[in-house]
DNA sequence: TATTGTTATACTCTATAACTATA
DNA sequence: TATAGTTATAGAGTATAACAATA
């Protein structure tokens, strides 16, 4: 007995379903963590994406959205006192985004809560975790790692 | 040598990343398929969710959104000639959503293109597909199957 | 001329509340 | 009173185009 291509197609439908279920749980976790900190999802996403000093342009790249959106998102974070816009001494067009202490705290809280949700979702014996990781790795083109965080 | 809980946490971060990469590819496929048919994502999602005759209320349930949104989405599909609102003879409050021939064609095209994207993403030896499915199944609470399609 | 960030504007998606017509 | 669908409205999120300041 061997698998027909119909069988394989049926399995791949099932895999789509399962993978969306898992992502849905992770996304729920992120959205809840953001809501707990009273942050709109887009601001929360920007916050976890920021580290050290990034330019507006960099953030737009990271968030994979148009630069015009970043203005509003950063406005929100600035109004909440979570970051400041700092001028670049060498190029007066650019602004550097620097997290405040409170911004760093909220960022750490978001990451921690997100990590906890992930631990709950991927609560498997280590052998299975590793097997799952290796299988997923074969699906993802190399070098694309780290380009995309949890999108609410 | 045994795994510390730090190791396990590191693996679960990696799993989050991988699973979002995979979902991202699937979602891209869906969005592209919708765009090819000149449908906004929500309308495309509604279209693939419709089969036979569903009431507005049912569609809201399936899409997991408020009933008030469904009006607009269905308006769009009706204006494009992809479905009609049919009265219910027994209860004059309810309307049944019935796909037109063109609606069925577009729906089939969407499903086919979506399926092809899935086949490309999950292009593995069958043994690995089955292993992946079984691992993912252990992560997803039973009975939640089929509740959620590809969300753009 | 090209680039950084901003503003103005518009479209989509989603939610709440008030409304209608039925039941 | 309760339900099915609609309308009005509002708030995120995202996109394009035009703009000012700077390179």
Position B145 pLDDT exceeds 60:
no
Taking the CA atoms of chain A, what radius of gyration do you get in angstroms?
Answer: 19
Three-class SS of A3-29: CCHHHHHHHHHHHHHHHHHHHHHHHHH
Query: Given an 8 Å threshold on Cβ–Cβ distance, is A136 in contact with B13?
Result: no
Tell whether A100 is covered by a domain: yes
Tell whether B72 is covered by a domain: yes
The domain in which residue B91 lies consists of: 5-124
Q: What is the pLDDT of residue B121?
A: 94
Tell whether A30 is covered by a domain: yes
Q: Which residue of B has its CA nearest to A111?
A: B13
Tell whether B140 is covered by a domain: no
Tell whether A128 is covered by a domain: no
Phi-psi region of A46 (alpha: psi -120 to 50; beta: other; left: phi over 0): alpha
DSSP assigned state of B22: H
Q: Which residue of A has its CA nearest to B133?
A: A15
Dihedral angle of Cα B19, B25, B26, B29, to the nearest 10 degrees: 170
Q: What is the pLDDT of residue B15?
A: 97
Tell whether B15 is covered by a domain: yes
Domain count, chain B: 1
pLDDT band at A102 (very low <50, low <70, confident <90, very high): very high
Inter-residue contact A104 to A124 (CB < 8 Å): no
Q: Which residues of A touch B29 (CB under 8 A)?
A: none
Å from A61 to nearest chain B CA? Answer: 16
- State chain A's mean pLDDT as an integer: 90
pLDDT band at B6 (very low <50, low <70, confident <90, very high): confident
Contacts of A151 (CB under 8 A, 6+ apart): A27, A45, B20, B24
Tell whether B145 is covered by a domain: no
**Mutating which of A2, A7, A10, A15 best tests the B interface, going by the most B Cβ atoms within 10 A?**
A15
Encode pLDDT of A54-98 as tens digits. 999 999 999 999 999 999 999 999 999 999 999 999 999 999 999
Q: What is the pLDDT of residue A147?
A: 37
Q: What is the pLDDT of residue B148?
A: 39
Task: Tell me how far CA of residue A140 lies from CA of A137, B76, B115, in angstroms.
Answer: 5, 36, 18
pTM to 2 decimals?
0.86
Position B8 pLDDT exceeds 90:
no
Query: Given an 8 Å threshold on Cβ–Cβ distance, is B118 in contact with A15?
Result: yes
CA distance A93 to A51: 21
DSSP assigned state of B84: E
Compute CA A7 distance to the chain's CA centroid, rounded to the nearest angstrom: 34
Q: Which residue has the higher pLDDT, A143 or A8?
A: A8
* Exposure string for B117-126, b = 16+ CB within 10 A, e = fewer: bbbebbebee
Tell whether B77 is covered by a domain: yes
Query: Given an 8 Å threshold on Cβ–Cβ distance, is A20 in contact with B148?
Result: yes
Q: What is the pLDDT of residue B142?
A: 74
**What's the CATH code of the domain at A108?**
1.10.10.10
CA distance A37 to A32: 9
Q: How many CB pairs under 8 A join A and B?
A: 147
Distance of C1' in C21 from CA in B94, Å: 11
Inter-residue contact A147 to A49 (CB < 8 Å): no
Encode pLDDT of B39-82 as tens digits. 999 999 999 999 989 999 999 999 999 999 999 999 999 999 99
Q: Which residue of B has its CA nearest to A8?
A: B126
Nucleotide of closest approach to A60 (CA, C1'): C5
Measured at the CA of A93, the angle between CA A49 and CA A41, to 5 degrees, comes to: 25
């Amino acid at each position: 007995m061997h698998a027909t291509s119909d069988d394989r197609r049926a399995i791949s439908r099932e895999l789509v379903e399962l993978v969306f279920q898992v992502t849905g749980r992770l996304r729920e976790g992120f959205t809840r963590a953001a809501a707990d900190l009273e942050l709109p999802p887009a601001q929360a996403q920007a916050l976890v994406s920021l580290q050290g000093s990034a330019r507006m342009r960099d953030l737009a790249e990271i968030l994979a959205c148009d630069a015009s959106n970043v203005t509003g998102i950063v406005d929100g974070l600035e109004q909440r006192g979570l970051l400041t816009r700092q001028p670049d001494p060498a190029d007066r067009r650019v602004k550097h985004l620097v997290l405040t202490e409170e911004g760093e705290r909220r960022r750490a809280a978001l990451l921690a809560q997100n990590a906890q949700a992930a631990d709950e979702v991927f609560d498997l014996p280590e052998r299975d975790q590793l097997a799952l990781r290796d299988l997923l790795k074969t699906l993802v083109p190399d070098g694309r790692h780290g380009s995309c965080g949890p999108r609410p």
